[in-house]
Amino acid sequence: MSAGPVRIFVSAGEPSGDLHGAGVVQALRDRFPGAEIDAFGGSAMAAAGARVLFPMEEYSAMGFIEVIESIPKHLRLLRTLRRRFERERYDLVLLIDYPGFHLRLAGRAHRSGARVLYYIAPQFWAWRPGRVKHLRGVVDRVAAILPFEERAFGALGLTTEYVGHPLVDHAPGPGHREAARKRLGLPAAARVLAIFPGSRTNEIGSHWERFRDAALLVLKEGRCDRVLLAATPSGEYPEPGPITIHRGDSVTVLSAADAVLAKSGTTTLQAALAGTPMVVAYRTHPWTYRIARHLMTVPWISLVNLIAEREVVPELTQHDVTVTKLADAIRPLLDPGDPRTRAQHDGLALVRQRLGSPGAAGRVAEIAAELIGR
């Protein structure tokens, strides 16, 4: 531990990590007003008070070729940070998500003498748990965001504390559905279906047409009155027909909907926090799917089912992601009196309970203070 001000380095290489890191930076500032906090991150952490020495925008990449081309830049950054850690002697290095890079950075940080805290750690419990050996001995603590991770990471030899999910801080409050519908200009009594085909170009390509056609089918049948698409700012969605494309806040769309058809991912937790029943689906390249099924060690793809430890929401993958099967799964959820809808509401309430209370960033700062010894 340094004798002067607390010195912390925070590393987050993508927008979600930058956003979650901003809350932790603010919590660290509140706990250590004179702290020197340097970062590999973006505008959110900078606004929270970190000195962003390495802007993540210079390293982000989308697409196979772009990712390959970014590897030399990441390797140079690893060498730069190793020298910086040796020279600056930080009290703590906080790693946030971004596993491909942070699995390598953790060892360099540890060897410099800094304490290492990993927040939003790689999902080793789902993909090849044996890889955890790369973190044992170089990470002092894991701050877990899913309730079962404390047990799962602990069993793999990592000292882990469950801090709650940062999305809980942004969960919709009472009356959120009425307020969301007013913002979107939707009648209060309308039956609304929302579709979330994904945020990445390949996800949109895999899901859009099937999600669109399933939604149009139930709309034509009169099962719902409106269909909303949660779209990315630059995503392309051919031939939407009567589907309303919303390129703003996706949580507003979730809050306004009676049911959601969503690709697997964080969206499912946002839907659970909004109390919106859902069907979860995911398609990918056939070889990617085969490899994934071989490596996966958990029975479900959706975080909702993993947290509940039972099937709360229906899941459709790969060849089962058809217009007919998607429509069959979503129809009952558009009827509030259907037993399947009521059962899912009960399951989502359990998930919200297990996600914990707001304040994940503050709890991460508490662990950081314990590791630093201040």
173-213 pLDDT, tens digit per residue, is 878 999 999 999 999 999 999 999 988 888 899 999 999 99
Distances (CA, A) of 196 to 140, 163, 238, 336: 37, 28, 15, 21
Start and end residues for every CATH 3.40.50.2000 domain found in the chain? 7-164+359-372, 172-354
What pTM was estimated for this model as a whole? 0.85
DSSP state of 127: B
Both structure tokens of 260: 């959601």
3-state secondary structure of 55: strand
Q: Write down the residue that tokens 């044992």 correspond to.
A: 136
Does the structure show a pLDDT above 50 at 62?
no
3-state secondary structure of 337: coil
Residue 136's pLDDT is what? 86
Rounded to 5 degrees, φ, ψ at 228 are: -110, 140
Q: Quick count: other Cβ atoms within 10 Å of Cβ 323? A: 16
Compute the distance between CA of residue 278 and CA of residue 320 in angstroms, rounded to an integer: 16
Residue 126's pLDDT is what? 57
Given pLDDT bands bounded at 50, 70 and 90, which one contains residue 296? Answer: low
3-state secondary structure of 244: strand
Both structure tokens of 244: 């309303």
pLDDT in tens, 259-284: 999 998 889 999 999 999 999 999 88
DSSP state of 336: T
Both structure tokens of 319: 């060849």
3-state secondary structure of 40: strand
Does the structure show a pLDDT above 60 at 84?
yes
Residue 291's pLDDT is what? 63
Residue 64's pLDDT is what? 43
Q: Which fold has domain 172-354?
A: Rossmann fold (3.40.50)
Both structure tokens of 201: 């170009």
CATH 3.40.50.2000 fits 7-164+359-372, yes or no: yes
Q: Write down the residue that tokens 């630059």 correspond to.
A: 234
Both structure tokens of 10: 């925070």
Q: What is the average pLDDT score of the chain?
A: 90
